[in-house]
Structure 1
Amino acid sequence: MSRVMLMQSWNSTCSNILRRSLYRSPAVFQTHRHYATDIKDHIEEVENVSKEEESAKPEPPVTESDSSRIITSNVIEDTKLHPALKAAFIKSVGPTLTPVQEQCINEFLESKHGIVVRAKTGTGKTFAFGIPVIHSVLKLKDQNMKQADRYVNSVVFSPTRDLAYQTRQSLSDLWNASLAKSNHAPSKRGSYPKKSRLPNSEKNLIPLVIGQTPYKATMSHFVSKEVPPIVVATPGRFMDMLQNEPKFRTSFKHLQNIIIDEADELLNGNFKEDINKIIDELVSIREPIPGVEAESPDLKPKTMLFSATVNDDVFYLAERAISNDFPFVDVTGNKAQEVNENISQTLVQTESVFDTYVAAVQFVLSHAHEKNFKPIIFLSTTSSVDFISKLLMDVLRNENSRRRVLAFHGKLTQGKRDASQRIFREKDNAILVASGIGARGMDFPNVSHVIQIGVSSEIDSHTHKIGRTGRAGKQGDALLFTSKLEEPFVKALRKNGNKFTETIEFDGESPEAQEVAETIVGQTRSYLDLDDTFFKSITHYRNIPSKVANLNLTELSIDVAKTYMKLMGTDGVQSDGESDDDNSGKLTMSYNMAKNLGLDTRKIEDYFTLTGRRPNDSRSNGSRGGRGGYSNDRNSKRGSWSNNDRSSNDRSSNDRGGYNRNRQSGKSSRGGREGDADKRYSRW
C-alpha cells in the first residue's frame, strides 16, 4: 500500500497518524510536504500507486506564485538568489543544485517560522541550509550595512565537534567567496576593526562555539561592535556562554535563523535539555531589527531542522522551535528509502568473531595494492578502534605497504581527531578506522568502501555509517562482516530496507584465511589491554536493545572469550599442574557481573576465569539483567575490567586502550612474499 499525505497544518489530533505513516508506509519516493487543520479534510490517501503511475503524471502548470519563488530551477544561474552568492556557488561548488537543495531552500525562505526536513545522508544538506543563510545575510547587508554587522544573523548547531568543524569549513568557503564577489567585501585589513583581538587568519572565518577550545579565543569574536554574521556551535559550550557572557548574549538579539543539523542524533545524546533551553532563550531575547522589522508578539527566529531519521523527540522540538503548524518536507519517502540507493551492500558471514576479524583483515590486504582503495572501517567501541587500527598498521607494515592507518574516536584529543580528519581528506590511499562518531554527517572525499566489523547498536547507526560512501551521486560499496550469532541483527537490517546485493560465506579453514589468522595472532600476542577491548565488546552486545535484535548474549560472550584466547595464543585449556590462578589466558569476570549480565555461568565457566562467591543457583534465566560492575580483581595475569569504566560511549574519557609494540615478537612469517598477494587473496 502506498500513501501520499497532504496536510494543511499540524496539531495533536493527527500527530500520531503522521508519525506512523513515516515509520511504516512503503511510499513511492516523492517530496512530501505535510500540514493540517482538520485531519478529515486534509489527509488524502492514494492506494496502490505504482512508480509507473507516479512517473506518468503530467507536470503541474507553472503558476504566478511559482514564478515569484527564489528557486525556479536546479540551475543556479536561473535562480533569484543574491548575485554574489550565485557567482560564488558556481565557482566553488558547481552550476547546479542537488534535489534536496532545490526542494528545501524555497520552503525555508517562504516559511513564517521555519521547516523540518527529513533527507538522506550524503545529499547536500549542508548547502541546503547554507545557501538560504548566506542569501539572508547578503540581503540584509544590502538593506542596512551597519546594523547587519552588529548582530549574529544565523547559528548552526551540530551534535559533535567534528561535524561542527566540517560544517564551518564548508560554509566559510562559500561565505568568503560570496563576500569577495559582493559590494561588502572586507578591506585588506579584514572585516573586523583594528582593535579586534583576532589574528588575521581568523577574521573572515565563521567562528566555532564548541567545547575543548579556548574560551577567551571564542569570546574574542563577540567583544567588538562588529560580530560575525554566522556561527557554528555545539549546544554545551553555546549554552554556557549564552547564560554567562552578556556580550555574547546580546550578539544574538536580532537572530534571524536557527539551523539544527542531525537533530535526531543531537537529541539522542546529552544535548536534549540544552537544545530545548537554547531555543527558549533565543526566542525570549529576540528583538526587531531597527528599520527592517516591526514589533510583533509573534517575532522569533526561523528554524530549519534537519534529520535523516524521525522520532517523537524531533517532532516535539519542531513544535517548540517553530510552531504546531510547522511544514514538514520529506525527501526520502519511507523508512526503507533512507538507505542510499547508490550504495551496493555486501554481507560477509563468518562462523565466529575471530573469523570476522580474519575476513576483514584479509579483505583489506587484498585491496591494499589498489590505488583508489580508501576505506572507512567502523567498529562498535573506541577500544576496538584502537585495537584494529594498531593491528592493521602492523600487518600492513609487514606487507611493506605504506598506507596510513588513522584512528578516529571520541576519546582522542581534539587535536588528534582533527589530524586524522585532515590527513584522510588529503590522502587518496589512507585507511580511517572509526567509532560511531564518524558516522553522522562527516563528509570525506572519494571514500571507496565502508567496512563494518560487527554490528551496530541501532539500525539507523548502520544506515549512517554506510552513508559515508556513495555521496553526491557517486557509487559506493559497503561491506558488513558478521558472525553467525549476529544474524538476528542482519535480519533486522533486511526488514528495515537494507538490501544486500551479495552474500559471501567466509571459509575460515582455507589456506589463505589460516595464513592471515597466523599473522594476526603473531601480532596480537604482544598487545596489552586486550581484556578491556573484549569486555567492552560484550558490553556492546549487552546494550543492543532486544527490540532491535534478540541476541544470545551467553553464546556471544563465549565466542568473544574464545577470540581473546586465540589472540593470546592459547586455547584456554589448563596444562597438567597448572592452577586455576594461572587463568590460561582467559578473560576474568566476577560471578556477580555474569549474573547481572544475564549470562549462564555454567556455560561460560570453561571460557572465563570467574571470581568471587559462586551463587547457589548459578544458572541464569537468559534475561539481559542489570548493569552491575565488572570485577576489579587484580590477581589475574592480565588484570580485569575496572568497575570505574563500564562505558563504550565515545563521550566518556577514561579508557584509551593502548597497545604495546614488540617488533621482535610481532614479526610475521609471511615476510618477503608480496608477489603472492593476488594469489593469496584472490577470492576477494
Structure 2
Amino acid sequence: MKESYLTTFSELGLAEPILKALAEANHSTPTPIQAQAVPLVLAGHDLIGIAQTGTGKTAAFALPILNHLVTERRRPERRACRALVLSPTRELSGQILESFRLYGKHVRPSTALAIGGVPLGRQARSIAGGIDVLVATPGRLVDLMENGAVRLDQVEVFVLDEADQMLDMGFIHAIRSIVAKLPAKRRNLFFSATMPREIEKLADALLTDPVRVAVTPVAKTADKIAQKVFLTDRAGKPDLLVEVLGHEGLDRALVFSRTKHGADRIVKGLSAAGIESEAIHGNKSQPQRERALAAFRDGKVKVLVATDIAARGIDVPGVSHVINYDLPNVPESYVHRIGRTARAGAEGIAISFCDGEERAFLRDIERLIRLTIPSEDRRGESRRSEPREGFSDRGPREARGGRPSNSPRAPREGDRSARPFARGPRPEYRGEASGEVRAAGPRPDGARHERPRHEGPRPERARTEGARPEGGRVNEQRGPRTSFRPR
C-alpha cells in the first residue's frame, strides 16, 4: 500500500522465538494486511480484516496468536483449546496448521486438525489432552462437539477465516452453534476477501467493537492478471480447453468446473486428448485430494481440475493460468478463483469460457469487479459434430450413440445424463416383454429367443426364473430395467 507499511517484522512487537522462525523462513517484510493487523491484535482488539486472497492473511492472525501463547503460557485443560481457527475447506485448514507450525517452530505449540475425510476417533484422541491451537472445518467440529470430544469454553482467541466462503457454502448454522459454546470473554478475528451485506450482519453478531482493516496488495491482483473471456457454445468448450492448455507459455493450470461430476468429465476428456490432469473435489477421499494436490505442487501434473469448494486453500506457487471452464454463479467466486494465480507479485492469466446460458453470470462478475473483461467470439468454431469423448454433458455412453458392453451401472445422481439414459432402453424392453399379442406356433429357425409365447395378452409380468434364451444369460429380458436402477 503505502511505503509506511513496508516495515520489518521486528518492528511489530513480536516475541523473539517468532522472529527467529520468520528469519529462518526468509520472511523479513510483512505484507500490508500483516503490518496493519498484527499490532492491533497484539493490542487486544477484535478485528475485521478485508483483503484479497494471496495477501498473507494467515500470518496476520497466526503471528499474534503465537505471540499470545508465548507471553501467556499455561497448560490447556483436557479436551479444550486456547485458540480456535475455523476455515471452510480441508485444504485451507491444513495449510493454516502448517503456517502455525512454521512460524511457531521455536514456540512449539500443541496443535490439532479437525477436518472431514479422517476418522473421527483419531481426531478426538489428538484433542483429548488439551491443545493450544485447533484448526477445524465447521462440520467436523460440530461432529466432535456432539460426541463430547471437544469443549470450547476455554477458547481465548477465535478466528473465522474466509468468512464469505463460509456463507456461500452454507456453514452459517454450524458457525452459530459453535459460537454459542464459546466463552463470552474472548478475542475475535474475522477475515474475508469480500464484504457483502450478509457478512456485515455476521460480523456485527460475533465481534465486539472491532477495528476494521481493509487493504489492497502493493500491486492489485487484478492488475497482475491478464483476464480474457472466450464467448463460445457448450459443445465448443472441450476443443477450446485443449487449445488453451497446449499454449507454450503454460506452466501450471488450474481449471474450474461448477460441479464435481463435471470436473471428472473434464479429466476424462483431457486424458482422451493426451493431456494428463487430476481432479480435486468433495467426492474425493482426503488421501486422494492430498495426492492430487501434491502432484500438482511438485509439477508432476500440470493441470488440476477443481470445484470452488475444493480449491479453497490451494496455494501453489507458479500457477500461470486459471481457466474457468464453467463460470461461477456466485460472482465473488470469480475473485477467489483467479486469485490462485499472480501470487506473491507474480503475473498470471485468467481465461473464462462463457456460453449462452452463462451470460448473466458474466454480467454479474463484471459488475462486481467494475471491469469489462476483454472478450473474443469463438462460437461455432468447434471442428467436431459431437463433443470430445469424456467432456459431453450427456456422458460418454450417449455421446457414442450406444450402450457399452459390461457397463450395467446407472449414471450417478446429479448427472444430467441420468434421465435420457434411463429412458433409452425402455421402448425396446416393452416391445419384447409387453402385453403385445403374438401368434402361436413354432418360432422360425435362428430366432434369438426360445422363450414360449402366450397366445393372448400377458398377465402381469410373471417372473420365469428358469427361462433362459439359448446361449444367453438368465433374466436377460429384465436386464435393461435393473441396469438403470439408480444406486
Q: TM-score, normalised by structure 2?
A: 0.76
Match of 1:444 among 283, 294, 316: 316
Instruction: Tell me whether 1:265 sits opposite 2:149 in the alignment.
Output: no
Contact 2:91 2:313 in 1 (8 A): no
1:305 paired residue number: 190
CA distance in 2, matches of 1:410, 1:495: 30
Instruction: Give deviations 1:347-393, integer Å, cap 9, x for gaps.
Output: 1112x2111222112211344xx5x5200000111111111101112
More divergent stretch after superposition (310-319 vs 416-425): 310-319
Contact 2:12 2:38 in 1 (8 A): no
1:239 paired residue number: 142
1:94 paired residue number: 27
Instruction: Give deviations 1:188-234, integer Å, cap 9, x for gaps.
Output: xxxxxxxxxxxxxxxx773112233222211222333xx32111011
Contact 1:116 1:328 in 2 (8 A): yes
CA distance in 1, matches of 2:76, 2:136: 23
SS at match of 1:472: helix
Contact 1:349 1:481 in 2 (8 A): yes
2:42 paired residue number: 109
1:426 paired residue number: 298
1:458 paired residue number: 330
Instruction: Tell me whether 1:340 sits opposite 2:340 in the alignment.
Output: no
Give the drift of 1:320.
Answer: 2.7
1:588 paired residue number: none
CA distance in 1, matches of 2:288, 2:335: 26
**In the TM superposition, what are the counterparts of 1:514-525 in structure 2 within 5 Å?**
514=383, 517=384, 521=388
- List runs of 5+ in structure 1 lacking aligned partners: 1-29, 31-54, 60-71, 180-184, 186-203, 284-298, 398-403, 540-560, 566-578, 583-633, 645-653, 655-684
1:354 paired residue number: 235
Give the drift of 1:409.
Answer: 0.9
Instruction: Give deviations 1:9-28, integer Å, cap 9, x for gaps.
Output: xxxxxxxxxxxxxxxxxxxx
SS at match of 2:297: helix
Query: Using a 3 Å threshold, how does the CA distance of structure 1 residues 436 and 214 change in structure 2: closer, same or farther?
Result: same
1:118 paired residue number: 50
**In the TM superposition, what are the counterparts of 1:522-671 in structure 2 within 5 Å?**
527-528=396-397, 536=415, 581=427
1:360 maps to a residue whose letter is L
Give the drift of 1:156.
Answer: 0.7
Count of aligned pairs:
423
More divergent stretch after superposition (473-482 vs 161-170): 161-170
SS at match of 1:208: strand
SS at match of 1:454: coil
Contact 2:33 2:49 in 1 (8 A): no
Query: Using a 3 Å threshold, how does the CA distance of structure 1 residues 104 and 502 change in structure 2: closer, same or farther?
Result: same
Contact 1:581 1:636 in 2 (8 A): no
Instruction: Tell me whether 1:321 sits opposite 2:221 in the alignment.
Output: no
1:206 paired residue number: 111
CA distance in 2, matches of 1:522, 1:161: 32
Instruction: Tell me whether 1:379 sits opposite 2:284 in the alignment.
Output: no
1:122 maps to a residue whose letter is G
Instruction: Tell me whether 1:171 sits opposite 2:71 in the alignment.
Output: no
Query: Using a 3 Å threshold, how does the CA distance of structure 1 residues 266 and 136 change in structure 2: closer, same or farther?
Result: same
Contact 1:439 1:461 in 2 (8 A): no
1:238 maps to a residue whose letter is L
Contact 2:79 2:128 in 1 (8 A): no
Match of 1:475 among 331, 342, 347: 347
CA distance in 2, matches of 1:163, 1:522: 33
Instruction: Give deviations 1:620-648, integer Å, cap 9, x for gaps.
Output: xxxxxxxxxxxxxx979996xx8x7xxxx
SS at match of 1:282: coil
SS at match of 1:126: helix
Give the drift of 1:477.
Answer: 0.6
Contact 1:384 1:533 in 2 (8 A): no
CA distance in 1, matches of 2:6, 2:221: 26
SS at match of 2:84: strand
CA distance in 2, matches of 1:453, 1:110: 45
Query: Using a 3 Å threshold, how does the CA distance of structure 1 residues 133 and 329 change in structure 2: closer, same or farther?
Result: same
2:17 maps to a residue whose letter is A
1:388 paired residue number: 266
Instruction: Give deviations 1:144-167, integer Å, cap 9, x for gaps.
Output: 5x5799963211101122221222
Query: Using a 3 Å threshold, how does the CA distance of structure 1 residues 152 and 528 change in structure 2: closer, same or farther?
Result: same
2:12 paired residue number: 79
Instruction: Give deviations 1:371-422, integer Å, cap 9, x for gaps.
Output: x52000001111111111011122116xxxxxx4101111112221121112
2:70 paired residue number: 138
Query: Using a 3 Å threshold, how does the CA distance of structure 1 residues 97 and 356 change in structure 2: closer, same or farther?
Result: same
Contact 1:529 1:638 in 2 (8 A): no
Instruction: Tell me whether 1:155 sits opposite 2:36 in the alignment.
Output: no
- List runs of 5+ in structure 2 lacking aligned partners: 400-409, 429-478
Give the drift of 1:487.
Answer: 2.6
1:527 maps to a residue whose letter is P
CA distance in 2, matches of 1:637, 1:307: 49
Query: Using a 3 Å threshold, how does the CA distance of structure 1 residues 498 and 150 change in structure 2: closer, same or farther?
Result: same
CA distance in 2, matches of 1:529, 1:276: 45
SS at match of 2:273: helix
1:188 paired residue number: none
Contact 1:264 1:307 in 2 (8 A): yes
CA distance in 2, matches of 1:355, 1:529: 18
Determine what percentage of the aligned residue pairs are the same residue: 25
CA distance in 1, matches of 2:317, 2:39: 28
CA distance in 1, matches of 2:286, 2:76: 36
Give the drift of 1:480.
Answer: 0.4
Instruction: Tell me whether 1:218 sits opposite 2:123 in the alignment.
Output: yes
SS at match of 2:188: strand
Contact 2:160 2:190 in 1 (8 A): yes
SS at match of 1:346: strand
2:70 maps to a residue whose letter is L
Contact 1:115 1:329 in 2 (8 A): yes
Query: Using a 3 Å threshold, how does the CA distance of structure 1 residues 356 and 498 change in structure 2: closer, same or farther?
Result: farther
Instruction: Give deviations 1:570-626, integer Å, cap 9, x for gaps.
Output: xxxxxxxxx9958xxxxxxxxxxxxxxxxxxxxxxxxxxxxxxxxxxxxxxxxxxxx
1:276 paired residue number: 176
Contact 1:207 1:228 in 2 (8 A): yes
Q: TM-score, normalised by structure 1?
A: 0.55
CA distance in 2, matches of 1:378, 1:159: 18
CA distance in 1, matches of 2:483, 2:329: 28
SS at match of 1:153: strand
CA distance in 2, matches of 1:436, 1:362: 23
Give the drift of 1:173.
Answer: 2.2
SS at match of 2:230: strand
CA distance in 1, matches of 2:76, 2:282: 40
CA distance in 1, matches of 2:259, 2:483: 20
2:246 paired residue number: 365
CA distance in 1, matches of 2:140, 2:390: 42
Query: Using a 3 Å threshold, how does the CA distance of structure 1 residues 438 and 238 change in structure 2: closer, same or farther?
Result: closer
Contact 2:91 2:312 in 1 (8 A): no
- Give the superposed CA RMSD: 3.8
